[in-house]
Amino acid sequence: MFGCSTRNLLVYHAVNATLQPIAMTENPENIDLLIEARWIAPIDTDDLLVNHALAVHDGRILAILPAPEARRRYLPAERQTLDQHILIPGLINLHTHAAMSLMRGIADDLPLMEWLQQHIWPAEAAMVSHAFVLDGTRLACAEMLLGGITCFNDMYFFPDAAAQAANDFGMRAVLGVTTIEFPGNYASDADDYIAKGLAAREATAGNPLLSFCLAPHAPYTVTDRSFQRIITLAEQLDLPIHCHIHETRQEIADSVATHGKRPLQRLQELGLIGPGFIGVHAVHLDDSEIAAIATAGSSIAHCPTSNLKLASGFARIAEMHRAGINIGLGTDGAASNNRLDLFGEMRLAALLAKGLSGDASALPALEVLRMATINGARALGLDKITGSLTPGKAADICAVNLGQLQCQPCFDPLSHLVHVAGREQVTDVWVAGRHLVENKTLRAGNEFPLDATTALWQNALEVRSGIQ
Q: Is residue 384 part of a domain?
A: no
Same domain, yes or no: 34 and 164: no
- Output the pLDDT for position 417: 98
Percent of the chain with pLDDT over 90: 88
Same domain, 82 and 100: no
For residues 207 and 266, state if they share a domain. Answer: yes
pLDDT at residue 263 in the model: 98
In the prediction, which pLDDT does 17 show?
A: 36
C-beta atoms surrounding 265 within 10 Å: 17
Domain presence at residue 116: yes
Please give the pLDDT value at position 15. 32
Closest CA relative to residue 432, chosen from 144, 1, 32, 14? 32
What pLDDT, on a 0 to 100 scale, did the predictor assign at position 296? 98
Q: What is d(CA 112, CA 30) in angstroms, rounded to the nearest whole number?
A: 54
Residues 84 and 111 in one domain: no
Tell whether 121 and 24 lie within a shared domain. no
464 pLDDT band, cuts 50/70/90, is confident
Dist. CA 53–CA 38, nearest whole Å: 9
**Within a domain: residue 445?**
no
* Mean pLDDT value across the chain: 93
Beta carbons within 8 Å of 358's beta carbon, 6+ residues apart: none
The closest of 162, 220, 144 to 376, measured between CA atoms, is 144
- Give the residue-averaged pLDDT of 155-159: 98
pLDDT digits (tens, 9 = 90+) for 362-377: 999 999 999 999 999 9
Q: Would 71 be classed as within a structural domain?
A: yes
Q: What is the pLDDT of residues 125-153, one digit of tens each?
A: 999 999 999 999 999 999 999 999 999 99
Say yes or no to pLDDT of 43 above 60.
yes
- Asked if 330 contacts 96 with a C-beta cutoff of 8 angstroms, the reply is yes
Task: Give the model's confidence band at 11: pLDDT under 50 very low, under 70 low, under 90 confident, else very high.
Answer: very low
CATH number, residue 272: 3.20.20.140
Looking up residue 73, the CATH number of its domain turns out to be 2.30.40.10
Same domain, 138 and 215: yes
Separation CA 152–CA 339 (nearest Å) = 14
Q: Cα(154)–Cα(164) distance, rounded to whole angstroms?
A: 13
pLDDT tens-place string over residues 429-455: 999 999 999 999 999 888 999 999 999
Residue 214 lies in a domain: yes
Do 262 and 163 lie in one domain? The reply is yes
Evaluate whether residue 443 is within a structural domain. no
Q: What is the pLDDT of residue 5?
A: 40
Q: How does residue 115 score in pLDDT terms, banded at 50, 70 and 90?
A: confident
What pLDDT does 19 receive? 40
Q: Within a domain: residue 437?
A: no
| pLDDT for position 465 | 63
Q: 328 with 213, same domain? A: yes
Residues 218 and 298 in one domain: yes
Number of separate domains in the chain = 2
Residues 363 and 413 in one domain: no
Distance (Å, whole) CA 28 – CA 165: 39
Residue 361 has pLDDT above 60, yes or no: yes
Query: To which H or E segment does residue 399 belong?
Result: strand 397-401
Q: Is residue 447 part of a domain?
A: no
Is-contact 86 67, C-beta < 8 A?
A: no
For residue 12, pLDDT beyond 50: no
* Range of the structural domain that residue 375 is part of: 91-379
Among 64-68, 104-108, 318-322, 382-386, where is mean pLDDT lowest? 104-108
> Tell me, what's the pLDDT at 467?
58
- pLDDT above 70 coverage of the chain, percent: 94
End-to-end CA, the chain:
51
- Number of CB atoms found within 10 A of residue 259's CB: 15
Average pLDDT of span 59-73? 98
Residues 182-196 have pLDDT tens digits of 999 999 999 999 999
How does pLDDT run across 251-287, given as a tens digit for each residue?
999 999 999 999 999 999 999 999 999 999 999 999 9
151 near 382, Cβ under 8 Å?
yes
Average pLDDT on 36-58 reads 97
Arithmetic mean of pLDDT, 354-365: 97
Do 412 and 264 belong to one domain?
no
Asked whether the predicted pLDDT for residue 63 surpasses 50, the reply is: yes
Do residue 116 and residue 19 come from a single domain? no
